[in-house]
Structure 1
Amino acid sequence: AGALACWTEGGWRFADPRAGLSLWIADRGHAMLHDGTGWRDCGVGGDGFHVGGARVVGVRAAAIADPSGGATVDAEARSALTAILGALRAHGLIAA
């Protein structure tokens, strides 16, 4: 229990994991990390980023167009939206 198992020509081989070992678990769709005492779920999964078991960031969304047009009154709002979109793109959370 808790060991890393690998199949070889000579049969099953078992190795004790070390702290910091991270493996992608195909049937779970996410990585697990050994913290030195046991295995725990990593935050990154095939369907996004998780914190405390809850998905907080999903897969990358489609691109969002930059704001354009409008009146002079909404110039600051357009500027703020452009900055937010730029930050989301820079972090890879939305497509460019």
Structure 2
Amino acid sequence: PPATTALPQAGYPVVRGEAGGNTHSLHAAPSAGVCFTPANSRGDELVLGTLTVPEGAEAYLLHPEHGGMAIAPGTYRIGRQREWAGEWRVVAD
């Protein structure tokens, strides 16, 4: 289902780095109508929430070191990245 909570004007931190830096955050123009509904999780879950970007709008996933990525219109499940290292684990930043 589509997200229903308006994305805050200051953005929303979806993943915070272990030392408080390296935060991955979602951003959009306040008038864009972009919504993000966080998942109800314990913090160790892979699904972080649902992002809905309306037609004609864009959202952005920003990171201070890696730059940004534009997100096209649609509804997305936002999740943590995993890697295989003999077993599945969440990628550390």
State which structure, 1 or 2, has the greater radius of gyration over its C-alpha atoms: 1
Q: Which has the higher strand share?
A: 2
Higher relative contact order (CA 8 A, sep 6+): 2
TM-score by length of 1: 0.26
- TM-score normalised by length of structure 2: 0.27
